[in-house]
Amino acid sequence: MGRPGARMVGRLPRPRRGPLEPEDHPHSMPPDRPVPSPRHLAALVRATVPPMHRAGRPFVLGSAVATLLLRGSSRRAGAIGAVATAAVAWFFREPHRVPPGRAGVAVAPADGTVSTVGAAPPPGELGLGSAPRLRVSVFLNIFDVHVQRIPLDGEVARVAYRPGAFLSADLDKASDVNERNSLLLRGAGGHQLAVVQIAGLVARRIVCTAREGDAVQAGQTFGLIRFGSRVDLYLPAGSDVLVCPGQRTIGGETALAILPGSAS
């Protein structure tokens, strides 16, 4: 025992430390960090995964039922069916599009590749006469979005369906001989445009939800062609085409032409 008043020499015992505070724990989350709500997560999913066109629901439902039946007999067959169901749902996707919002501009009626730009007579069933008009043709392969969109604000003046052949839609004569559905649109500025849905080699069904007298807006979905197709846009004389063959288009967003009388 040391003398009274003598100083203790050596290390003092370390105080016992309590459990790590939340901010010091390496695996903890700071208490002020916001946690995403289920509603926010659902909004993110909707923004990432495009909705499906209603015409595709029977196909997806049928594929899903077949997948469940296959899954009961073979896990591998069920997995293949699930992939096929997802592919069908993806084919019928209808992504949100934002048109340029510029007056006097005709936007692309479909996603795809510009196949031809030139003069051609419009469909006779629309009553526009036989004089050639400037035409922009967009070819859709099986991987493109297959919904069609209105090219400008206006009104549907006429809808005309004509049965026909099912040649490859990338052929120029497909505009004349293939099955087609034509819309005559009257723009707010008085311009008349024709949009023609043309079936292709694999496509066997044209869906059109537009009706005569409907008020429509640029970028609005009006129809769908299943499994490979083509869309023609006939423009009024004096239009300034902004695209060329081989260029990719985004339906409802890509500006195809400036209409006559519009500021460039």
How many CA atoms lie less than 13 Å away from 105 in the CB half-sphere?
18
Q: Do the Cβ atoms of 241 and 264 come closer than 8 Å? A: no
Compute, in degrees rounded to 10, the torsion defined by CA atoms 258, 259, 260, 264.
-30
Residues designated catalytic: 229
User: What 3-state class would DSSP assign to 197?
Assistant: strand
How many residues are given for the chain?
264
In angstroms, rounded to a whole number, what is the distance separating the alpha carbons of residues 26 and 23? 8
Residue 239 burial (CB < 10 Å; 0-12/13-18/19+)?
A: buried
- Say which DSSP state 80 is in: H
Structure tokens at 230: 């083509």
